[in-house]
Amino acid sequence: MPASRPRNLALAYVRSVVRRARHAARGLATLDSGRKDRALLQMAQALHQAVPELMSENRKDVQAGQAAGLPAALLDRLTLNEKRIAAMASGLEQIAALPDPVGRVLDGWSRPNGLQIQQVRVPIGVIAIVYESRPNVTADAAGLCLKSGNASILRGGKEALRSNLAIHGLLARCLKECGLSPHAIQMIDRTDRSVVKHLARSDGWVNLIIPRGGEGLIRAVAEEATVPVMKHYKGVCHVYVDRDADLDMARSITVNAKVQRPGVCNAAECLLVHRDVARAFLPSAAAELRAAHVELRACPETRCIVRGLIPAQASDWGREFLDLILAVRVVHSLQEAIDFINTYGSGHSDAIVTRNLTAAAEFTRQVDSAAVFVNASTRFTDGYEFGMGAEIGISTDRLHARGPVGLRELTTYKYIVHGTGQIRQ
């Protein structure tokens, strides 16, 4: 927190928000699971019942967005319909059904002097989440924070403000009806950019800030923050087809990793193929990928095997296309594949396809990514697919949480030590 006298309105506003959040966080930290779950279920019900009013507020955002010339993709992400509102409600129901991470004893041991030490999960405290256009993040993020015992401060995109305020209004009403502090979930209703800066510098009040959105947003928050930041950077994911791969499996995994949903961070951006199987693998794989409208940008060796491919530029290695584009490269050894991934990858998700135990072991040992797959698609890096339930994103940081960030990753721990009068000698 900066010096004690607010220099401007945005700072004064952020101060009052973070103070209320900190106060609410104290109450949340010791709240029974049952009361949190009842509030979540009531919120789900309120969302179901409020479809007309949410859609009416959302329509104003969409119309303003159209008038401002927002691109079609953004307008689509901004739009709420009955199905999307039902999905938000069902998300909250799913969060209610997940086990509460708070209070879980992670470890415990006795010391020679008789001290009994327990390491117990507790909430992080106050979490600020800064996100872009999709209004469903409002309910998801608030629900995950509530269940994990954290107070949340939400700052959505200004183009979704009316929708977000309408959703937040429902959530806050439910908190009150359940006898909880409405400040447990707060929505920032100022659109000035400096609010994010003040939030990111509210150390001692805000315990974590999570920017969700484009790289520009994340970098700006990380640059300004004195509060810890949990980053969700890009995913430059690789599929490596080993010399000992089952080539049918390799084709199926490659196509799935690229095509099933190309615009997300766990989609593959680069295919590496061992030269010993390049001639056997690449023609059929390229045909199937091209049939799925994938543009291949290939190294010279690949282009000798499959004619008519676009030459890869140096900038295509390590690039996140987020589109139906795949870089393709022949490598001369497993080690070359590993080194390439550790150099050009983003440490997100990388896969090997092989039947060879040694190759699988070396790949998983050496590839330094949040998720390393053997004979499976990179698309599985996901809270739901991992069985963790809802997630707030995929962390590309190494500290605190790596990979999918679910309820467990939104907690910390404390030590509880029981003695019988021990003093230190």
Per CB under 8 A, does 414 bind a second copy? yes
Q: What is the dihedral of CA 67, 72, 78, 83, to 10 degrees?
A: 130
Residue 313 is given by DSSP the state P
Of 253, 331, 390, 392, the one binding a second copy by CB under 8 A: 253
Per CB under 8 A, does 193 bind a second copy? no
Q: Which is nearer to a second copy, 139 or 360 (CB)?
A: 360
Tell me the closest approach of the beta carbon of residue 94 to a second copy, in angstroms. Answer: 16
Distances (CA, A) of 335 to 26, 249, 332, 340: 51, 21, 8, 8
What is the Cα–Cα distance from 70 to 373, expressed in whole angstroms?
38
Per DSSP, the three-state class of 394 is strand
Per CB under 8 A, does 213 bind a second copy? no
Tell me how far apart the terminal alpha carbons of the chain are, to the nearest angstrom. 39
Of 45, 136, 356, 412, the one binding a second copy by CB under 8 A: 412
- Are 235 and 267 contacting, i.e. CB atoms less than 8 angstroms apart? yes
Stretch that binds a second copy, among 43-51, 114-122, 163-171, 180-188 (CB under 8 A): 114-122
Distances (CA, A) of 263 to 74, 314, 348, 382: 13, 22, 15, 14
Q: Which is nearer to a second copy, 3 or 72 (CB)?
A: 3
What is the Cα–Cα distance from 103 to 73, expressed in whole angstroms?
42
Per CB under 8 A, does 249 bind a second copy? yes
Per CB under 8 A, does 418 bind a second copy? yes
Q: Which is nearer to a second copy, 30 or 191 (CB)?
A: 30
Q: Which is nearer to a second copy, 158 or 402 (CB)?
A: 402
Stretch that binds a second copy, among 68-76, 302-310, 329-337, 409-417 (CB under 8 A): 409-417
Per CB under 8 A, does 122 bind a second copy? yes
- Rg (Cα) of the chain, in Å, rounded? 24
Q: Which two tokens stand for residue 128?
A: 């600020």
Residue 300 is given by DSSP the state H
- Footprint on this chain of a second copy (rule: CB under 8 A): 26, 29-30, 109, 111, 115, 117, 122, 124-125, 203, 207-208, 222-223, 226, 228-229, 246, 249, 252-253, 256-257, 260, 342, 360, 364-366, 368-377, 379-381, 385-387, 397-400, 402-403, 412-424
